[in-house]
């Protein structure tokens, strides 16, 4: 298998016309020092792209009324978006190891802009559903950006860079609902997608100026072989399998909280408005930002310890979250702990898997994020079912069980993973 991966190697050839002050490459390793400005730009681009998937969640009532879609069916819109996002992880993200990543990123973002315009101007439900499917498929540009950032970063700072960039993704997810609600109140639901398309166009211009033009030199790797090698990497690399399973569990826990949270907060005795409920996304941002340091700890060799502490905090968070109906302050503490833990593990996971095959970072990202997608979907589906039958206490128990399972998996595999990571480094 190692021969196949080596044969499939994508060698980067950095061109000389890199914008000054953005990325300074080294000929030996094709790595570079990413300025804080460029790192922040990557994070913003990731947050904007992934937010497009989640804008529709608070808009389902508006979409149901305007397009005459039954409430029992309109939820399929979210499901379709997530399904196509999962397809994009497998079909599009690996292309980062085969094609020029600058052109790939710019091309996907331009197509995303067109998809957003289709949604924002949709006149029938068929066009709406087709547009949302395209939005989900093309939103995976976020993962191409993460893999590209990891490739361009200096190895000693790779964890920090990945931490900042992936924080942008989590913040985009958390703030999407808030932004969507505010724009809808101001100018209607269509403005959400049209404004996003306009801002995305500005982001394309900014990225075009700073992204280096790295050509891929692969002569023997076809597209089917590229996709097959994603599955082969999962089969070969134990660290990838373990870290992918941790991703599945932590993002299941993440969605177990966030998917049904609106239900107890909007119901008596709390009865918060949708605007107030959306503000809890800002609370989650606090935890996500605090976790950016996890990448620095991974750079220093503390990835395993960071994971153990974060998963312990994840389990503890459900104790505070269980008191939601008695204390909103307890919920706030629980949200901060949960988002801090999830983001810390996620950053550490990616920092560790990116050491495995420098030439296959896009494929490693695709394999890892497929498990993330499965976990997110499973958490959303199970949490709403459990809430309907067992209430908020049942949701908290489910979240605690999933978190405990993640902690157990880490404890059972930490020594093997630490040894393998040391060898890879």
Least confident range of 7-11, 69-73, 246-250: 7-11
Q: 108-121: string of b/e by CB count within 10 Å (b at 16+)?
A: bbeebbebbbbbbe
Whether residue 34 is predicted with pLDDT greater than 50 in this model: the reply is yes
Contact 206, 81 (CB under 8 A): no
pLDDT band at 420 (very low <50, low <70, confident <90, very high): low
Question: Per-residue pLDDT averaged across 205-224, rounded?
Answer: 76
Q: What share of the chain is helix, strand, coil (3-state, %, to 5)?
A: 80, 5, 20
Question: Residue 171 and residue 199: Cα distance in Å, rounded?
Answer: 17
Name the DSSP class of 23: E
Number of other CB atoms surrounding residue 373 within 10 Å: 21
Contact 61, 248 (CB under 8 A): no
Question: Per-residue pLDDT averaged across 227-238, rounded?
Answer: 90
Contact 354, 320 (CB under 8 A): no
Burial class (CB in 10 A: 0-12, 13-18, 19+), 213: middle
Question: Residue 298 and residue 239: Cα distance in Å, rounded?
Answer: 14
* DSSP run (H or E) holding 53: helix 36-54
* pLDDT given for residue 217 in this prediction: 58
* pLDDT given for residue 334 in this prediction: 95
What confidence tens digit (pLDDT) does each residue in 80-124 have? 888 899 899 989 999 888 888 888 999 999 999 999 999 999 999
Whether residue 203 is predicted with pLDDT greater than 70 in this model: the reply is yes
Question: Residue 126 and residue 403: Cα distance in Å, rounded?
Answer: 39
Least confident range of 108-122, 161-175, 229-243: 161-175
Residue 214 pairs with which residues in a beta bridge? 14
Q: 236-255: string of b/e by CB count within 10 Å (b at 16+)?
A: bbebbbbbbbbbbbbbbbbb
Please enumerate in sequence order all residues whose Cβ is within 8 A of that of 219, keeping only pairs 6 or more positions apart, or say none: none
Question: Residue 364 and residue 65: Cα distance in Å, rounded?
Answer: 42
Helix and strand numbers, DSSP H then E, in the chain: 19, 4
- H-type alpha helices, 139-291: 141-152, 158-187, 190-210, 223-236, 238-258, 262-266, 274-278, 280-290
- CA of 313: how far to CAs of 27, 77, 252, 342, in Å? 42, 34, 16, 9
Contact 43, 165 (CB under 8 A): yes
Most confident of 224-238, 296-310, 351-365, 387-401: 387-401
According to the 3-state scheme, what is the secondary structure of 347-409? HHHHHHHCCCCHHHHHHHHHHHHHHHHHHHHHHHHHHHHHHHHHHHHHHHHHHHHHHHHHHHH
Most confident of 33-37, 249-253, 273-277: 249-253
* pLDDT given for residue 416 in this prediction: 63
Please enumerate in sequence order all residues whose Cβ is within 8 A of that of 120, keeping only pairs 6 or more positions apart, or say none: 190, 191, 192, 193, 194, 197
Question: Per-residue pLDDT averaged across 249-268, rounded?
Answer: 87
Q: What are phi and psi of 122, to 5 degrees?
A: -60, 135
What confidence tens digit (pLDDT) does each residue in 325-373 have? 899 999 999 999 998 999 899 988 988 888 888 778 888 988 998 998 8
Whether residue 25 is predicted with pLDDT greater than 60 in this model: the reply is no
Question: Per-residue pLDDT averaged across 139-147, rounded?
Answer: 90
């Amino acid at each position: 298998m190692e021969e196949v991966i080596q044969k499939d190697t994508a060698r980067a050839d950095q061109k000389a016309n890199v914008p000054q002050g953005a990325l300074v490459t080294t000929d030996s390793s094709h790595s570079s020092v990413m300025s804080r400005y460029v790192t922040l730009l990557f994070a913003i681009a990731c947050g904007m792209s992934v937010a497009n998937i989640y804008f529709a969640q608070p808009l389902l009532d508006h979409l149901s009324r305007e397009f005459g879609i039954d409430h029992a069916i309109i939820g399929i819109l979210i499901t379709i978006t997530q399904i196509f996002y999962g397809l994009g992880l497998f079909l599009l993200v690996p292309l980062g190891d085969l094609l020029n990543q600058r052109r790939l990123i710019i091309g996907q973002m331009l197509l995303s802009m067109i998809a957003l315009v289709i949604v924002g101007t949709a006149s029938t439900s068929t066009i709406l559903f087709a547009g949302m499917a395209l939005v989900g498929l093309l939103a995976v540009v976020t993962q191409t950006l993460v893999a590209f950032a990891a490739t361009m970063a200096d190895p000693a700072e790779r964890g920090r860079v990945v931490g900042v960039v992936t924080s942008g993704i989590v913040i985009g997810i958390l703030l999407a609902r808030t932004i969507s609600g505010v724009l809808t109140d101001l100018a209607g639901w269509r403005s959400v997608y049209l404004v996003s398309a306009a801002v995305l166009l500005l982001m394309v211009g900014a990225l075009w100026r700073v992204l280096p033009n790295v050509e891929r030199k692969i002569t023997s790797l076809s597209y089917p072989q590229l996709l097959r090698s994603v599955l082969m990497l999962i089969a070969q690399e134990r660290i990838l399998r373990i870290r992918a399973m941790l991703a599945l569990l932590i993002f299941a826990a993440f969605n177990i909280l966030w998917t049904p949270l609106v239900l107890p907060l909007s119901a008596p005795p709390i009865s918060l408005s949708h605007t107030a409920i959306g503000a809890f996304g800002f609370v989650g941002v606090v935890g996500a930002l605090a976790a950016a340091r996890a990448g620095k700890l991974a750079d220093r060799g503390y990835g395993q310890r960071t994971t153990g502490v974060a998963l312990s905090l994840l389990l503890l968070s459900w104790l505070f979250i269980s008191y939601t109906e008695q204390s909103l302050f307890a919920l706030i503490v629980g949200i901060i702990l949960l988002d801090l833990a999830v983001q810390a593990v996620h950053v550490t996971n990616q920092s560790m898997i990116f050491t495995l095959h420098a030439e296959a970072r896009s494929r490693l990202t695709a394999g890892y994020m497929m498990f993330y997608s499965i976990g997110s979907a499973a958490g959303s589906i199970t949490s709403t079912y459990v809430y309907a039958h067992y209430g908020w206490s049942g949701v908290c128990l489910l979240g605690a069980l999933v978190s405990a399972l993640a902690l157990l998996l880490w404890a059972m595999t930490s020594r093997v993973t630490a040894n393998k990571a040391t060898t890879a480094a």
